[in-house]
Amino acid sequence: MTWDNIRRKCEARINSFPNFTLPITEGGDTFSIHFVALFSQKQDVIPLLSLHGWPGNFMEFYSILETLSNRNTPETLPYHIVIPSLPGYAFSSPPPLTRDFQLQNIASIMNTLMVELGFGNGYAVQGGDIGSKVSRVMAATFDSVSVDDVARVYKLTSPNSPTSLWL
């Protein structure tokens, strides 16, 4: 298989779900935030924001999207699923180099994304690795986060460390 064939196969998989970008302004900078989403046509479903980890990207969630889309139609989909590329990852703008850019800034961008999509009345957020840290900041900061069911990051210590030091 040639690199061109591999690229085309990857491109086809990326494009197998709707991809979007939305300009989000935070701290005076405007970011183009990429996301993949499946939107339900049902009115009473919970919006779910899923945040990837490092060194991952939005494609970590493609198997979930495939399962949901294979089992549901937009009329029966039980959630609105929004899977963004965090700033600096995949197809989203990089963070600025002219100022400090921290988890709070990323959390603000992700919350604004959900609010702009019409989910300001409440949504659930989950994340892995850096995504879990962002989701914790979101849950502590924004009233629109109604559920914080985060895949936590735990520091693993050596087997010789005292158990009391484990997080």
DSSP string, 12-55: HHHTTS-EEEEEEEETTEEEEEEEEEE--S-SSPEEEEEE--SS
- Backbone angles phi and psi of 142, in degrees to 5: -115, 125
User: Which overall architecture, per CATH, does domain 12-153 show?
Assistant: 3-Layer(aba) Sandwich (3.40)
Residue-level pLDDT at 1: 83
User: What would the pLDDT profile of 44-79 be if each residue is shown by its tens digit?
Assistant: 999 999 999 998 999 999 999 999 999 999 999 999
Distances (CA, A) of 167 to 153, 154, 157, 162: 9, 6, 9, 11
Token reading at 124: 């659930």
Ranges of the chain with pLDDT below 70: 147-167
Strand locations in the chain, DSSP E? 19-26, 29-38, 46-51, 79-84, 123-127, 145-148
Residue-level pLDDT at 163: 46
Give me the residue spans of the domains in the chain: 12-153
How long a stretch of residues is the chain?
A: 167
User: What would the pLDDT profile of 34-49 be if each residue is shown by its tens digit?
Assistant: 999 999 999 999 999 9
Residue-level pLDDT at 146: 78
CB count within 10 Å of CB 23 equals: 10
Residue-level pLDDT at 45: 94
Whole-model pTM? 0.86
